[in-house]
A and B are shown apart, each in its own frame.
Chain A
């Protein structure tokens, strides 16, 4: 029996998580090495808790047997007791190696993420494929799978927590037969959803080895990107073309699906709507969101007269700024007529 020792990399620090620093204390991490025995029944595979440090790397002392081993990194949440499979890698003596990296315009590093209207790229680095034409298929080729899964629009699973990933749709699959980097660019997500602007879910790209006489098809690497909906806003309290003759009315701005890393505000400027104009930010209209998931918010504007400097046509816009740039969510134009004209005469009576 041939024994090999492969480096076990503890990605706990990087993957620490799924979660913001404030949430990190809710998670405990476990790395398991699962020795496969080749009979295809996972119940017979050998499961070992590696007990690594929170951060760092080490060599696994448990030799990989001829059927290979899978390393799994799990994050366990206390309340409710939930397990999250963060990463998994299959290693064997004669198996290609693959690494999947997904990037978007959002530099957030914990989980790749983007928005329903934005592009993303998948980079797959493959090595170890045989160039011998007579080699068997499992030595010359690996399989790439693309899964998509929609999150529910409402409820506790709308942000992807505790969803059944077994229900993900296998959208497409292909073969990688060359060593090196393969770059796949996507203009927009293909996650299902009737309203394309409100799509929320995840796309997963996985590289699998082909089955051979020793082991079944096994996941070499996998990565997923979360896709969040495009924000929307509704302005109430003021209507298009309304005339303001006295105090500015109270205005309510309903914001839906604000991007996790966003700054949203209302601005006003004199004149008709003109995209790209930077106006005066309405006091107390700013909302800064720094979370891992989208959020809804209602902003109430009161006593905002001081930003209306003179009479005439004015425009109020709701702007959201994200890693993708500035987007105008909605706008309304109104006329200000505050100057009071008094028609009268002065007379005297003796």
Chain B
């Protein structure tokens, strides 16, 4: 006799993620924009309309035309080429910075969660609070004043800022998992904290981390543009979106497109990443997924 209902938690299968992704407008729009920006950056390695550094003073501050799709700047450089190469810089800086945050922050958070309530937990988390208390820009100014400006130092500054974000997030998510019965079962099976963290905790917080990565990535792009704007990011002649904005600032009345185009590039990229993060969160959250059915 079977009088049991098979009701339970919704299935967590990859195929259900895919179909949920296809039904999420946020994710689809965000992913499309992000993919386009990534393609732009990748193409710039093999082809740009002009060299990003090639100056053509007679043709400076030209508007949008067939020869220069996005016009030229005050040195007559092709803006499209600069945007493409700038995308490369921005993405590289943001990606490595987020990578630093994940690689350092997640293990710290997992370690703190595994030793929750101990002195070690306190030390790790209070140190994180300390770092978190300083804005990324301040850390960047600090680092550049010691080591000089440049893309690498921007990466380090934004990366340090990302560490506490991921440490806190993974600690919080891990804490609730540590009380779950399947983790207790693993402890009864004699598994140590490191093993449980890798085998059971980390795979179960990946969803949360992936969502945060997209959001931090967007923040990274913004932070990179901000640093470049104040001259602490990638140095000329390497173009960067923030530096382009800063250069165009005084010319905004004369040739607005020189400022608008890098501005739009930043806005669209950040928007795309944020939409993608929102979409991913909806897709991974079983409650939201169920209510949409």
Chain A complexes with chain B: no
Query: Which residues of A are in contact with B by a Cβ distance under 8 Å?
Result: none
B residues within 8 Å of A by Cβ? none
